[in-house]
Amino acid sequence: MEQKTNVKVLIAAFFGIFFFGLAYIVLGAILPDLQKQLSLSDPQCSTLASMLPLGTLFGSLVFGPIIDRFGYKLLLTGATALGIAGLGIIAGSSDFALVALGVILTGLCGGMLNGSTSALVSDISSDNSRTSNLFILGIVYCIGSFTIPLIMASAGNADFRTILFVACAVMALSMLYYIVIKFPEAKCKQGIPMGEIVKMIKEPILIIFAFTLFFQSSLEGLANTWTRTYYENSSIFAGNPAVILTFIPIGLAISRVLLAVISRFVKGSVIIAVSMLFAVAGAALLPFATSQTVAIIGALILGMGLAAGFPVVFGIVGEKFSKMSGTAFSFCLVIALLGNTLLNSLIGALGVNTLPVIMIASAGLLFVLFTIGNTLSHKTTKSK
């Protein structure tokens, strides 16, 4: 019997992914302002950029076993509390070490919220609606991700610290909501069988899809963290390059709205292929943007290209590893965020001018890995 969708639980998932979007984009939006106010060097900025995915990496590592063993309420409540602490430290501190700690806590919150909300939606969805529902979840992520850049672009000289404190207050309200509603029961109340975990993470399909997300996460992280910096010394945005970050999630949202419907009728392989073509086209436009219009078009196209990776892959992984979906998602996200961390560090070492080349290479490798994983997945399905 198919489980009926719980609207209250869906709302909780939407709250969580909204704040993941906010947490994940916030550093890219405020990094130039932080650099000016704290007189940070480029290596220090690179360190902060790497701290966010590092915190997210650890959050991704722990969320799966926690929700499989203890359920969603504990995880979502605790993760939100960490996010409030992280954003509050960033907003209230002028010391580099404390800001770095705030960035790590914010990343930790984001990793927990991202993975747990995806697993939650996967758990309450049927096989036929799982990928589509994950695209809808992704739409809410987009709304969260362009909230702070949109506010900063619209408010002009508004203090980013005030904006972050307001975000903390809203997150506190969502934490209260998590406390009062009922979530699905934990799947492994008696403990998680380590033998089953080891067996699962040795599955070639899971490993290949995890490394597919390695490059998907890299693309998203590079776009969100470095695109504004790429245009920082350009005259085309008249001293307010933060506006460019607004259009990447807008492109992402437009694409996910369309894909929430299209994914019910079109194969995931086709969706991924078209998405990577968009990502390559958007990245290729970066060095050729001679006006705001061209730069904005490139950002929109790039955002549209980033829309499909996580929902399509999670749709497959959630179906094939449903008995321990949280732990399976956790494994995939650890590999994904490892890629994000490594490629952010690579940009810091090679220079922001290499951004388009690294993004194009990542898109190509993503497509190859997904094609291999999808082929193996179909073969194992037919053999059963």
What's the rounded Cα separation, in Å, for the pair 13 and 27?
A: 23
Which pLDDT score is estimated for 271?
94
Does a structural domain hold residue 101? yes
Instruction: Return all residues near 17 (Cβ < 8 A) that are at least 6 apart.
Output: 113, 114, 117, 118, 137, 138, 140, 141, 144
Handedness of CA 176, 180, 185, 191 (dihedral sign): positive
Domain count, the chain: 1
43 occurs within a structural domain: yes
The label of the residue with tokens 């590092």 reads: 54
Residues of the domain holding 163: 7-383
- Residue 164, exposed/middle/buried by CB under 10 A (0-12, 13-18, 19+)? buried
Q: What is the rounded CA–CA span in Å between residue 41 and residue 80? A: 31
The pTM assigned to this predicted structure is: 0.77
The per-residue pLDDT for range 174-220, each reduced to its tens digit, is 899 999 988 887 777 776 777 777 888 888 999 999 999 999 989 98
- Amino acid code (one letter) for 130: R
pLDDT top residue among 116 and 133:
116
Q: What is the CATH number of the domain that holds 46?
A: 1.20.1250.20
Output the pLDDT for position 105: 93
DSSP per-residue codes, 69-123: HH-HHHHHHHHHHHHHHHHHHHHH---HHHHHHHHHHHHHHHHHHHHHHHHHHHH
The count of C-alpha atoms lying within 13 angstroms of the C-alpha of 103, restricted to the half-sphere facing its C-beta, is 26
The segment with the largest mean pLDDT, out of 47-56, 236-245, 273-282, is 273-282
pLDDT reading at 1 higher than 60: no
